Amino acid sequence: MAVTFKSLETILERYPPSPEHLISALQEVQAAFSYIPKEAMTAVCDHLGVPVSRGWAVATFYKSFRLTPRGMHEIKVCLGTACHLKGGARLVEGLERDLGVCRGHTTKDLSFDLDTVNCLGACALAPVVVIDGNYQPTATHRKLKKMLKEMQKA
Amino acid sequence: MAQVSTATRFEDFRLPSAEALAEYRASILAERDPNRTVIIVCHGTGCIANGSPKVAAALRKAIAAAGLGAQVIPEIKTTGCHGFCSRGPLVILQPSGLFYQKVKEADVDDIVQTTLLEGKPVERLLYTDPRTGEPIPHDYEIPFYKYQQRVVLRNIGKIDPLDIRDTIAVGGYQALAKALTAMSPEEVIAAVEAAGLRGRGGAGFLTGRKWRLAVENARKSPGPVYVVGNGDEGDPGAFMDRTLMEGDPHAVLEGMAIGAYALGAHQGFIYVRLEYPLAVRHLTNAIEQARALGLLGENILGTGFNFDIKINRGAGAFVCGEETALIASLEGRVGEPVPRPPYPAEKGLWGRPTIINNVETWANVPQIIEKGADWFASLGVPHSTGTKIFSLVGKVNNVGLVEVPMGITLGRIVDEIGGGVPGQDRFKAVQTGGPSGGCIPYELKDTPVDFDSLTKVGAMMGSGGMIVMDQRDCMVDVARYFLHFLEEESCGKCLPCRLGLKSMLEYLDRFAKGQGSQQDIDDLHSLARAIMKGSLCALGGTAPNPILTTIQYFKDEYLAHVVDHKCPAGVCRDLITYSINPELCNGCGLCARTCPQGCISGEKKKPHTIDASACIRCGMCMDECPVGAVLVA
């Protein structure tokens, strides 16, 4: 979605102009645009009456906020304790090599985001990887590689 | 999943009194035939990931196609997590309790034909006892369930969390009605005190005492009071709160409403972790349905009591599970803790007395009100009353969620309920209490699991994560993993935590490379003690636990790293070498194809070899090898 005055307006009108809504409003901005665009941050802070510096402080403190556009597909590798014991770290390393990006980054062609997550609370499925919201139970590097290839083709 | 459109269905239905709630319940029960078969399909995160929605859809289709008579058409119910996640997707037939595990879409026709039409169990879907090899047909006979005592989890797996009528049918909101009509706020607090309920979120503070503090403070300065449900379950390897919020959201809401009545609060908040979208969905739905029935909102059950709940989603910061950081986050600020006192019970949200309890603590409250403080205090052991939910994960046969009375021994949980360690006769260590808990060795397997005994051995109850480790897990690596986690999650406000964790991690990084000396181990130990004393909040204050307990119980493993430059468990990358056992290798070539370095070679169908000089020890060949020929030493 393009960052337009209109699209921001519809988000902002749901929040009374009070600082406590900063996190919720930014979450909604991110849901709409996939990241926090600069223009949106200014608009949100103006609306809620908080300094823009505080807006950026919040957006950089909390891990879930992104300041750059996301890739088309989102890969999240769980590194919770159970997944760690069952080789989650090796999966991320493998994906880093395959995609040519470090964790927390997006491939140059904006097709994949590679992220890690502390724990998804799905420990029976360890090691678990979530691709575009779908859980891949007891993931192996081979299975993932195959999936990525198919996604690249599509 | 069946969505109940609350807005239309319950609109004219506000329950005007406690009697109306009882009548409504009676009418729901009267509509239900207790003998009708109900097919329960688990829809917890684990089972969903393994395809349970497909199983439920296929069941609906197959039953419709089978042309059963109108009176015998079974109801299909999708419920929250049953806890036995390693066996999912689970399908249970009620009222018989017939238990099917690992059910696939393809098994559905067999279930309809064999079980529904012929009345016989489908043998291959039954759970088999790994010790005796005997199939166990019913859920209540399976050791994993048999040794549990489900108090908080009692409804999960029986009710559809998206339909409030299910909750009301099993007695939901009865305790709220009792509190509002037959008890004074003071009596509610007294009951929670007498029950001895302690916070389930980690610190184990007495809930009743916290409530009383808040009430006293509110009396001193009139104004609003707030209640908060802490569902920011950040510990890796723990999913009790998620299951509770997903599977029985009304228990949390009801507990909070009772607490609000006792404290004179009219507004509550539930802070849910970002990674739990399903929990947010179920809670939102539950709040809407409770509001529609007049169980939340204004003039609840005609008693004049007003209370409503708002959901706040976390934004991905572990420290926000700490109560002062959580308050900052609720106020829309950066989640940095502040020194206590003043405690939130004095000055919390917007400077007002605020009670923050873990969602599991809240879910215990209705039971105490309904069944009485004496009943609750009779569960568990003195000073740690009631039950506790643990998520039993890692190297254990039955991965899942277990609820046991406090005081049960660690060994019984792992061996009897968890079914032991796969392929080994005993565990090496159990890590309790999340990243800042401790590792308890096998030798202490008779330690009772309660707040005080766990603290005594250097671990802690925490929120209830229980991670089982076996001989292939390196204790230095485990300590390093937790330290790395905490170092990243440290908010950076106070120096002991910000720099201390970093420097402890540097020690461990060096140990993992085989560097360092015995003196370094002692230095690390004293640094850890200093950080414990000096940190502002519990994150830094408990962060050294994994290091202290692993040094205490597994010092020889540390020495093996720094003195012998060996990692006995074969984990620490700089201290291991991979090789291929020529006797086992069948020359399939999978390892050679997967090796990112291209350093495995060999002829087809002949044993392969690894060029150790080029190997980066990524371990991919070992993961890939179908015959287990890749060795690590």
| Domain termination residue (choose one: B320, B348, B378) | B378
Q: From CA A41, how far away is CA A60, in angstroms rounded?
A: 12
Q: Which two tokens stand for residue B166?
A: 């299910």
B219 shares its domain with B304: yes
Domain end call among B454, B469, B484? B469
The chain B residue lying nearest A19, using CA atoms, is: B332
Looking at the fold, whether B188 and B328 belong to one and the same domain comes out as: yes
What confidence score (pLDDT) does residue B6 get?
40
Sketch the domain layout of chain A as residue ranges: 5-61, 73-153
Q: Which residues pair with B268 in a beta bridge?
A: B227, B309
pLDDT in tens, B569-616: 999 999 999 999 999 999 999 999 989 899 999 999 999 999 999 999
Tokens of B354: 């605020």
At B1 the pLDDT is 38
- Contact across the interface for A141 and B46, Cβ inside 8 Å: no
Examine the domain organization and report whether B371 and B502 are in the same domain. no
- Decide if B572 is inside a domain: no
pLDDT at B193 over 60: yes
User: Is A73-153 a domain of CATH 3.40.50.2300?
Assistant: no
pLDDT at B4: 42
In contact, B455 and B498? CB cutoff 8 Å: no
A78 is in an annotated binding site: yes
Chain A residue with Cα closest to B336? A61
Q: Is pLDDT of A39 > 60?
A: yes
In a 13 Å sphere around the CA of B39, the CA atoms on its Cβ side amount to 24
Same domain, B333 and B445: no
φ/ψ (deg, to 5) at B381: -125, 160
Could you report the per-residue pLDDT of B380-432, keeping only the tens digit for each?
A: 999 999 999 999 999 999 999 999 999 999 999 999 999 999 988 899 999 99
B301 and B346 housed in the same domain: yes
Choice among A92-96, B233-237, B469-473 with the minimum mean pLDDT: B233-237
| B64-106 pLDDT per residue, tens | 888 776 556 788 999 999 989 889 899 999 889 999 999 999 9
Dig out the tokens for B572 from the structure. Answer: 């620490």
User: What DSSP element (H or E) covers A10?
Assistant: helix A5-12
Contacts of B399 in chain A (CB under 8 A): 82, 123-124, 126
Identify the pLDDT of residue B36: 87
Considering CB atoms only, which of A19, A118, A136 is closest to B332?
A19
Residue B28 has pLDDT above 80, yes or no: yes
Instruction: Write the DSSP string, B24-70.
Output: HHHHHHHHS-TTS-EEEEE-SHHHHHTTHHHHHHHHHHHHHHHT--G
Whether residues B129 and B183 share a domain: the answer is no
A81/B465 touch (CB, cutoff 8 Å), yes or no: yes
- Chain B nearest-CA distance from A120, in A, is 6
Beta carbons of A63 and B313 less than 8 Å apart: no
How does residue A108 score in pLDDT terms, banded at 50, 70 and 90?
very high
User: Are B372 and B229 contained in the same domain?
Assistant: yes
- Counting residues of chain B whose pLDDT is more than 70, the rounded percentage is 97
* pLDDT band at residue A2 using 50, 70 and 90 as cut-offs: low
The predicted pLDDT at position B72 comes to 67
Cα dist from B529 to B268, B329, B429, B496, B501, whole Å: 38, 30, 22, 11, 12
Q: How many domains does chain B have?
A: 5
**Domain with B407 in it: what CATH number?**
3.10.20.600
Work out the minimum CA distance from B234 to partner chain A, whole angstroms: 8
Q: Using the beta-carbon criterion (under 8 Å), do A124 and B46 form an inter-chain contact?
A: yes
Both B310 and B183 in one domain: the answer is yes
Q: Is residue B178 domain-resident?
A: yes
Contact B334 A87 (CB under 8 A): no
Q: Tokens for B516?
A: 């360092």
Amino acid at A32: A
pLDDT value at B364 more than 90? yes
Kindly state the average pLDDT of the residues B353-377: 97
- Indicate which CATH number applies to the domain containing B498: 1.20.1440.230
Average pLDDT over residues B111-126: 92
Chain A residues with CB under 8 Å of B234 CB are: 118-119
> Are the beta carbons of B331 and A19 separated by less than 8 Å?
yes
Q: Are residues B480 and B520 in the same domain?
A: yes
- Report the predicted TM-score, pTM, of the whole model to 2 decimal places: 0.93
Q: Is residue B149 part of a domain?
A: no
* B chain contacts of residue A48, beta-carbon cutoff 8 Å: 332
Is residue B144, in this structure, part of any structural domain at all?
no
Give the pLDDT mean for B41-53. Answer: 90
The answer to whether residues B526 and B584 belong to one domain is: no
The token duo for B249 is 């959201």
Q: In A, residues 77-116, which contact B (CB 8 Å cutoff)?
A: 79-82, 84-85, 87, 90, 93-94, 97
- pLDDT tens, position by position, B124-156: 999 998 888 899 999 999 999 999 999 999 999
Kindly list the residues from chain A whose CB atom is less than 8 angstroms away from the CB atom of residue B331.
19-20
In this prediction, residue B8 carries a pLDDT of: 40
> Does one domain contain both B240 and B389?
no
Q: Strand B387-394's sheet: what is its strand order?
A: B400-405, B387-394, B465-469, B429-432, B438-441
Judgement on whether residues B66 and B175 belong to the same structural domain of the protein: no
Q: Which of B360, B378, B396 is the last residue of a domain?
A: B378
Domain containing B437: what range? 381-469
CB B49 within 8 A of CB A137: yes
Instruction: Reply yes or no: is the peptide bond before residue B341 cis, omega within 30 of 0.
Output: yes
Q: Is A102 part of any known ligand binding site?
A: no
Residues of A in contact with B237 (CB under 8 A): 80-82, 119, 123
Say if B626 falls within a structural domain: yes
Taking all residues of chain B, what is their mean pLDDT, rounded to a whole number? 93
The residues, ordered by sequence, that sit 6+ positions from B425 with a Cβ below 8 Å of its Cβ are none
pLDDT at B3 (0 to 100): 41
Predicted ipTM?
A: 0.91
Instruction: Kindly indicate the confidence band of residue B7, based on its pLDDT and cuts at 50, 70 and 90.
Output: very low
pLDDT at B12: 60
